Amino acid sequence: MKAKRLTAILLAATLLLSAGQTPAAAMANETTVPETISENTSMFGHSAHSQQEATNWASGQIGKSIDVDGYPAEQPFQCVDLIKAYYTYLGNGAYATGNANAYITNTLPAGWTRVYGNYQPGDIAVWKANHSCSTCTTGGYGHVGIITSADSVGFNAVNQNFCGKTHCTHNWFNVSALACAIRPDFGSAAAAVQLGYSNIGTDYIDDGNAILRGSINNPSRATVPRVGAFVWDSAGNLVVDYSEACNRNNNPIGQTVNIVMEAKVGLKPGSNYTFQLWAEANGQRFHSEKSSFKTTGTAPSAPSQPETTPSVINTTIEDTTSNGIYKITGTQEAAFTKPINSKKTSVIIPDTVSSNGVIYKVTTISANAFKNNKSITKATIGKNITSIGDYAFLGCKKLKNITIKTTALKSSGIGTKAFSNTFVLPTVKAPKSVLASYKKLLKAKGLSKIAIFKKL
């Protein structure tokens, strides 16, 4: 027994020296507990218990007074006594050295890590020294405890000597109090986490919405950081792919998804859908069985087919009256693609153009329609135009007068550099209702910054 005690003490001294401290210096700086070594300490980094067993052990200390070393005599029940006992329980007692603040940097068992967010049950919480917030105040030696649950805002922890208590208590703290946490290596025990689902169904259905529900069976009380849902329509198309933060570790965990309010998707009335819920834990995703539902109401009828034959779409029209070549883009729409005679100085984009007795609204000026035209000095844009393509008037350096009849132009409808390198001081006329907005819009698309704008 004496030989085992001597070996453990020599190892602890080696750990302190590797961290840049002599054992004497560590003792001198320690006001909470001196360094102690358990005779039954294992030297393996892998924990002797699972994450759930470790969390249960911590909860089992609530109300108990833990003293590992009898130091200091006036109040031997310090916060680090709980942590030293926890290290020993996990089979790595020799690494539990220094005061609470020392756990920010002291040597860890092999496989153990320090984490700085996404805290989990079983982690060792290490408070900042000289910290003050609404949930706690620490001194120069900090504080330590064992986390039993956590989310992005705060965490619950078993800890000793909080607010002068001489026994272990269970309290909630803000995460801002932590300098870090130490995560033991629970090894393959963590990989054994299994989630299951039950009570899959819907809580509400109407013409365009449904509330999906299910219960996540979590017997190991693993932390579930995210949950979500998939919804497919009757053709097998994925119409909902939703996820949200969970960060809970209770059993069971109730899960609901309001498709309209949360997933921001509207469903079709009188239609069949299939859904599946999922939850993540320990880096794995667990899925529920698929289930189906049908929205109320009457399914929409199939849209009528356009009467225009496919052969007409994309055919061209030459209109000598407007000096333009057009492409039919829809059943009643066409695009101005380029002038017939590029030498003419004036161009008018008409409201409509006709072919074979069919009247088409001219809604688009195609990309590059007048690019680098050296003759054009005046352009009139019709009232049905909703889009002007990239570089449509680029390089029209003699284009002094532009009349715009349409009120439907938006930033997304005017292409890149549509009016760049045109006349340095052009005059633009537009309807009064859009004059101010067009002034900003056209300049953003390349028109001269000193262009003159007048109401039409």
- Specify the pLDDT at position 34: 35
Return the percent helix, strand and coil in the chain, to nearest 5: 15, 35, 50
Terminal Cα-to-Cα distance of the chain (whole angstroms): 103
For 92, phi then psi, to 5°, come to: -140, 45
- Specify the pLDDT at position 300: 75
Chain centroid offset of residue 348 CA:
50
Are residues 221 and 55 in contact, defined by beta-carbon separation less than 8 angstroms?
A: yes
Predicted TM-score (pTM) of this structure: 0.37
Residue 374 half-sphere exposure toward CB, CA atoms < 13 A: 0
- Asked if 2-189 and 193-294 have one fold, the answer is no
Nearest to 404 by CA among 396, 414, 394, 395: 414
What fold is seen in the domain 193-294? Immunoglobulin-like (2.60.40)
- Helix residue ranges per DSSP H, 285-326: none
**Is residue 227 classed as helix, strand or coil in its secondary structure?**
strand
Are residues 29 and 140 in contact, defined by beta-carbon separation less than 8 angstroms?
A: no
CA distance 26 to 175: 28
If the chain, 456 residues long, is cut into consecutive pieces of 10 residues, what is the mean pLDDT of each piece?
A: 36 33 31 34 52 92 92 89 92 88 91 91 95 91 95 94 92 95 75 81 94 92 90 93 92 94 92 95 87 90 56 85 91 92 93 88 95 95 95 95 95 93 95 94 94 93
CA distance 435 to 456: 9
> How far are the Cα atoms of 160, 434, 451 from residue 399, in angstroms, in the given order?
82, 21, 12
- Specify the pLDDT at position 14: 34
CA distance 109 to 365: 71
What fold is seen in the domain 2-189? endopeptidase fold (from Nostoc punctiforme) (3.90.1720)
- Specify the pLDDT at position 35: 34
Kind plus residue range of the DSSP H or E element containing 303: none
Burial 140-168 (b: 16+ CB within 10 A, else e): ebbbbbbbbbbbeebbbbbbbbbeeeeeb
The DSSP string of 328-362 is E-SSSEEEEEEES-TT-SEEEE-SEEEETTEEEEE
- Specify the pLDDT at position 310: 52
Contacts of 294 (CB under 8 A, 6+ apart): 205, 270, 271, 272, 273
**Is residue 6 classed as helix, strand or coil in its secondary structure?**
helix
The DSSP string of 164-199 is G-SSEEEEEEEGGGEEEEEE---THHHHT---EEEE
Does CATH number 3.80.10.10 belong to domain 316-455?
A: yes
- Specify the pLDDT at position 194: 77
- Specify the pLDDT at position 210: 95
Contacts of 438 (CB under 8 A, 6+ apart): 404, 409, 428, 430, 453
Any idea where the domains of the chain sit in the sequence? 2-189, 193-294, 316-455
Kind plus residue range of the DSSP H or E element containing 38: none
Are residues 409 and 385 in contact, defined by beta-carbon separation less than 8 angstroms?
A: yes
- Specify the pLDDT at position 6: 36
Residue 446 is classified by DSSP as: T
